[in-house]
Amino acid sequence: MHIPERILMGPGPSTVSQRVLRALGSPTLGHLDPRYIEIMDETCVKLRKVFQTQNQLTFPVSATGMAGMECVVTNLMEPGDEAIVCVNGVFGSRMVDVMERAGVTVHKLEIEWGRVFTPEQIGEALDRHPGAKALGIVHAETSTGAHQPLEEISRLVHEAGKLLIVDAVTSLGGHPVKVDEWKIDAIYSGTQKCLSCPPGLAPVSFSPAAVEVIEQRTRKVQSWYFDISMLKDYYKGSGKRAYHHTAPVNMIYALHEALEIVLEEGLEARFARHARLHHRLREGLQELGISYIPENSLHTLNCIGIPDGVDDGAVRAALLDAYNIEIGAGLGPFAGKAWRIGLMGHSATQANVDLVLAALKDCIG
């Protein structure tokens, strides 16, 4: 089996360092082995630092990023509940779908793809739907590259007595995600983006207020696998841990090492690196006559317009064949009109920025 080493500059996964790959290949232990429990506990502590939270119920769900969305929704929401969900791209729409499958009455707040929500829009939605239990919003919309400010929105949500649910799949580890300061009640992410760990885990964190809501449910969580009432006895139990499912032991090793790399660099230094490289990429793209689509762009996911007359698929194929570089295509209304260039974690280097700019210049012709 031959697997090429790509330069991963798409919407995810990002490149995984040799340190993380070596950790992934460490000897497998049983999921109740005392040494493994220590490693798992250390991983949860590191996750709290990266989420910037004291939430005790912070752990990696044993599945990819979208499992984090399902875990949050199915635990916090019950059939018949109401929720406001903000939609400005694919992943807001996906949250609507997950909510509706859980029997939730969803009030969609939709705006144009690539734009972000204003506090005024959120305030009006909260006034229109006083019965909503929660508001869900995407911090980093991977499909459009839009970076959503949250602080003022969080204030409005909590003044209205609602829970705040946040998708941070493409921001955790690349942009500030201040769970406690921003009073986020439930948040989920993925390991394969800015954490530069292989796909397979979904870090989540629940505030004490969210845990209280879960404990007051009137019926069982519809998903046995994601049921926090059982999972918490494994991830944060004292003494003997309650077995729930066979944990992905080697993936936890990998996440442990990936988080160690994040913390060694330091969160502020890491955020500054992503910002610096984003601006270097932006300046180079402008020289090529390529513009950004979102006004408020992520540093980690750069969504740019394809120049007139340029063949989307041909350029991406040429980048892969000639330069071994992967970038992402546009989704939904952006299909054939946009490229998505990821600058996430281990892939966010000056060498990669300069290479993709030179490669684009060559392939566009």
Residue 238 pLDDT: 59
Residue 239 pLDDT: 63
Tokens of 252: 């936890």
pTM of the model: 0.97
The kind and range of the H/E element at 316 are helix 312-323
Give me the architecture of the 18-263 domain, per CATH.
Answer: 3-Layer(aba) Sandwich (3.40)
Reported as half-sphere exposure (CB side, CA atoms, 13 A), residue 56 has a value of: 13
Domain ranges of the chain: 7-12+267-364, 18-263
Calpha distance 200→61 (Å, rounded): 9
Percent residues over pLDDT 90 in the chain: 96
Calpha distance 108→115 (Å, rounded): 15
* CB within 8 Å of 36: residues ≥ 6 apart: 29, 30, 247, 249, 252
3-state secondary structure 138-166: ECEECCCCEECCCHHHHHHHHHCCCEEEE
The class level of CATH for 7-12+267-364 reads alpha beta
For 285-333, what is each residue's pLDDT tens digit?
A: 999 999 999 999 999 999 999 999 999 999 999 999 999 999 999 999 9
Calpha distance 220→218 (Å, rounded): 7
CB 11, CB 237: distance < 8 Å: no
For 29-54, what is each residue's pLDDT tens digit?
A: 999 999 999 999 999 999 999 999 99
Q: What is the mean pLDDT of the chain?
A: 97
Mean pLDDT of 220-229: 95
* Residue 162, amino acid: K
